[in-house]
Amino acid sequence: MIEGWQFNNAPWALGVAGAFLIASVWFFFRSVKREGSTGGMIALHLLRMVIALAVALTFLRPERVQLSKRSEQPRVAVLWDASGSMATKDVVLDGKTAVQRAEWVKEQVEAKFWTPLEKRYQVSVEAFSAPPTDPKADVETEIGTDLNGALERVLKAHTDLRAVLLLTDGDWNLGKSPITGATALAQKDVPVFAIGTGSENYLPDLELQSVLAPTYGLLNERISVFVTLQNHLTREVKTTVTVSGPGGTTGSKAVTIPPMAQIQDMVVITPLAEGEADFTVKVPVEKDEIFPENNEKKFHMAVRKETLKVLVVDSQPRWEFRYLRNALMRDPGVQVNTVLFHPQIGMGEGAGYLPSFPTKREDLQGYDVVFLGDVGVTKGMISPEQATMLRGLIEQQASGLVFLPGPLGWQKTLKDSPLGDLVPVETDYEKGAGMVNFSAGSGFSTAGETKLELTFRGRDHWLTMLATDPTANQAVWRGLPGFFWYAPVVKAKPGAEVLAVHESARNASGRIPLLATRSAGSGKVLYMGTDAAWRWRKGVEDTYHYRFWSQVVRWMSHQRHLAQSDGMRFFYTPEAPKRGDKVRLSATVLDKLGTPITEGKVTVTLKAPGGTSETIELAAENSEWGVYNGTFTPREGGRYEVEVANDTAGRHMKTQIDVSVPTLEKVGLPAKLDVLREISALTGGKFASPGDLAQIISSLSLLPERKPEELRFRLWCDPWWCGALLVLFSAYWIGRKIGGLV
């Protein structure tokens, strides 16, 4: 590499430039002879000659070359991964026990493995993608790995960078592809030497991946705990999942997991002690497992002793009504009241029967779930005022409403009533009228027994789960006795979740939805478009019939009972919030007489895990029901201590909200070493495993001196040079005009 001026010395270029100069000289003498040789003309001709020489020089593309030799010591940047995925325990050296990726990296950093490089290089050591240590960090900050950002950042920060040494598992889930940063490094002749930590394949392991359980349960009531198990062993595993809790609470389930497969299952427990406590889920450690610590998880649950209050309303003692009422009355956790509008013999009477549908708000507000059978909003049944009150119970008090239409077709009167918008499906009673063998009936009859078929969502929905896993659950529903009548349903309304459809009937909108649910304000609504659930007892007694209606009552009243005390109920949405979520807080407050409060402040004080407190004043949304709402955005993860208070009525209660922290980091996944190999190859570096770290240090020490940086000044395309030529051309042209030349 030579310093100085360089030209395009190709023969054709020199020939063209020479010919142009010879022609310019010939024109110079010719012009002098023809146009005169006075002082002004000679100057004008010389100017043209100078322009010709400049044009010829430009054609030869002159460039000034300078070599910049670096005087400072070159730098090696050591980047080590501090992200969450580095907690995976799969670094095995010399056949020894596996250690965490982060643990191995920490040992190397503490040992200052880069010391041999300091004789020749400046060494900068930086961690990247470490999770925030400040719990008050911006809620919008995603916790993940930006490998490309780390590469681009180090290139921008150090102008003397000679190489990058990268210790990571290759996992990236934020920012651009790391190939972008690697390309920029390659253009600057900065090689990347990568040490890939972790295994590219799953190590032998049986993992309890997740546990899903409600935030609260009822004492001595069945509670379903859903678990997900992953088998990373090359053999089938037969094991037992156990759940244990305070007071001797236990539950277990034998499961079989195929090799290299994942299963979901359910363990049923019955809490035996009141209060809030941690429950433990375990699977035994297999002899050839690498990670025994992931065979156990805990979940927190509040256990309370409560009785759910249910109101069953119908127009006649049909089979569906009788068996439903009997099932609920035999449920020890349910208190049942009944309203029976019998058109022929008058109101039903007996234990638990009410003389009429509740007419006062304070009489209705205690019900957790209302079953609305073959009844309507019409004279002699439910008045429009009572329908409005019932709607308020669902939307404002988080109660549940179950629509159970029947062949008399009274529910067709709901369409134009205050309850019409709550029905999850659209119906057409005009089309269905007279289609069954009932004198005043509405709906459709079937020639033979017809069954419900679960949708994809219904297979694993808690409400319809009658078995331990989705596949078995679908088989149970296929085996249940069917029905001979169904309501004139057209389609599901927007926002509804269809759990089961008619096994064969369809229309322009698709399969007929006969079991659907949707949210209504703070509450839930369920629609069942058949009247034959009582037939599910055939051959199995109460196994499925009781279980289904028990799950309906508990699922629909769950939100309402998240937290409560005398005269106060508090619930929040979502039930399992994440950091940064907008959490809707709702409280219902009653005075000493049991009526909704009309004055005073309702405040919610939330104490964060970090010790900071925040007080939110809830705004009155519906004074008739004593409902107060507000919003809260958790800025930390962990358990918040919550106190709800209204001094006017003397109501106070305490509860907790568990907030999780969203993260893109996953522990236990294989390392993405292909990414590191590609980065190393692109930049001219090397890739190695943890055991070859010493060899990588040696390779870095043997890197050749970087070539001097070449700086080129391209005169032929410099804007100032082009501007100068333009000025000369302009001066020549003006001179010709002044001299009277054409």
Task: Encode 199-231: b = buried (16+ Cβ within 10 Å), e = exposed.
Answer: beebbbbbbbeebebbbbbbbebbbbbbbebbb
Q: Rounded CA gap, 173 and 175, in Å?
A: 7
Q: Which residue has the higher pLDDT, 76 or 591?
A: 76
Q: What is the CA radius of gyration of the chain?
A: 40
In 670-730, at which residue ranges do the beta strands (DSSP E only) sit?
687-688, 709-714
CB contact at 8 A, 63 and 713 = yes
Residues 6+ apart with CB under 8 A from 173: 144, 145, 664, 665
CB hemisphere CA count around 343 (13 angstroms)? 10
pLDDT digits (tens, 9 = 90+) for 137-165: 555 567 889 999 999 999 998 888 889 99
Give the residue from 587, 568, 593, 571 showing the smallest Cα distance to 651.
568
CATH number reported for the structural domain that contains residue 248 in this entry: 2.60.40.10
Task: Place 430 in a pLDDT band, splitting at 50, 70 and 90.
Answer: confident
Amino acid present at 439 = S
Residues 85 and 196 in one domain: yes
CATH number reported for the structural domain that contains residue 328 in this entry: 3.40.50.880
Task: Place 374 in a pLDDT band, splitting at 50, 70 and 90.
Answer: very high
% of the chain residues with pLDDT over 70: 95
Report the predicted TM-score, pTM, of the whole model to 2 decimal places. 0.67
Of 20-24, 192-196, 278-282, least confident by mean pLDDT is 20-24
Q: Report the domain count for the chain.
A: 5
**Residue 56 scores a pLDDT above 80:** yes
DSSP 8-state assignment for residue 237: E
pLDDT digits (tens, 9 = 90+) for 94-123: 766 778 889 999 999 999 999 998 888 889
Burial class of 35 by CB neighbour count within 10 A (0 to 12, 13 to 18, 19+): middle
CATH number reported for the structural domain that contains residue 672 in this entry: 3.40.50.410
Specify the pLDDT at position 135. Answer: 52
**Residue 650 scores a pLDDT above 70:** yes
Specify the pLDDT at position 240. Answer: 94
Residues 449 and 567 in one domain: no
Residues 319 and 418 in one domain: yes
Question: In degrees, to the nearest 5, what angle opens at C-alpha 83 toward C-alphas 118 and 105?
Answer: 40
Specify the pLDDT at position 432. Answer: 52
Query: Which one of 33-37, 165-169, 264-268 scores highest in mean pLDDT?
Result: 165-169
Residues 367 and 442 in one domain: yes
Mean pLDDT (the chain) is 86
Q: Rounded CA gap, 236 and 226, in Å?
A: 21
Beta strand pairing call for 523-528 and 400-403: parallel
Residue reference for tokens 């982060």: 102
DSSP 8-state assignment for residue 439: T
Residues 616 and 597 in one domain: yes
Of 18-32, 504-518, 677-691, least confident by mean pLDDT is 18-32
- Write down which residue in 507, 530, 561 finishes a domain: 561
Residues 6+ apart with CB under 8 A from 398: 521, 522, 523, 559, 560, 569, 571, 586
186: number of Cβ within 10 Å: 18
Residues 503 and 407 in one domain: yes
Average pLDDT over residues 593-617: 87
Average pLDDT over residues 537-553: 86
pLDDT digits (tens, 9 = 90+) for 555-569: 888 888 877 777 888
Specify the pLDDT at position 632. Answer: 92
CB contact at 8 A, 642 and 655 = yes
**Residue 437 scores a pLDDT above 50:** no
Give the residue from 462, 466, 441 showing the smallest Cα distance to 533.
466
Residues 439 and 529 in one domain: yes
Of 73-77, 213-217, 266-270, 499-503, least confident by mean pLDDT is 213-217
Q: Rounded CA gap, 543 and 533, in Å?
A: 12
**The token pair that represents 83 in the structure block:** 């992200």
**Residue 404 scores a pLDDT above 70:** yes
Of 19-33, 279-293, 434-448, 558-572, least confident by mean pLDDT is 434-448
Q: Residue 62 is part of which domain span? A: 4-69+710-738
Residue reference for tokens 């106060």: 568
- Write down which residue in 304, 320, 338 finishes a domain: 304
Task: Place 166 in a pLDDT band, splitting at 50, 70 and 90.
Answer: very high
Distances (CA, A) of 300 to 160, 195, 245, 636: 53, 40, 10, 18
DSSP characters over 567-591: TEEEEEESSS-BTT--EEEEEEEB-
Give the residue from 216, 238, 220 showing the smallest Cα distance to 229.
238
pLDDT digits (tens, 9 = 90+) for 275-306: 888 899 999 999 888 778 889 999 888 888 88
Q: What is the 3-state secondary structure (H, E, C) of 207-235?
A: EEEEEECCCEEECCCCEEEEEEEEECCCC
Specify the pLDDT at position 2. Answer: 64
DSSP 8-state assignment for residue 251: E
Residues 300 and 326 in one domain: no
Specify the pLDDT at position 701. Answer: 84
Specify the pLDDT at position 742. Answer: 61
Residues 467 and 550 in one domain: yes
**The token pair that represents 101 in the structure block:** 């990726």
Residues 456 and 426 in one domain: yes
CATH number reported for the structural domain that contains residue 614 in this entry: 2.60.40.1930
**Residue 251 scores a pLDDT above 80:** yes
Q: Rounded CA gap, 141 and 82, in Å?
A: 16
Question: What strands, in cross-sheet order, belong to the sheet with 563-565?
Answer: 563-565, 568-573, 583-589, 627-632, 613-622, 602-607, 638-646, 651-659
Residues 575 and 553 in one domain: no
% of the chain residues with pLDDT over 90: 36
Residues 131 and 278 in one domain: no
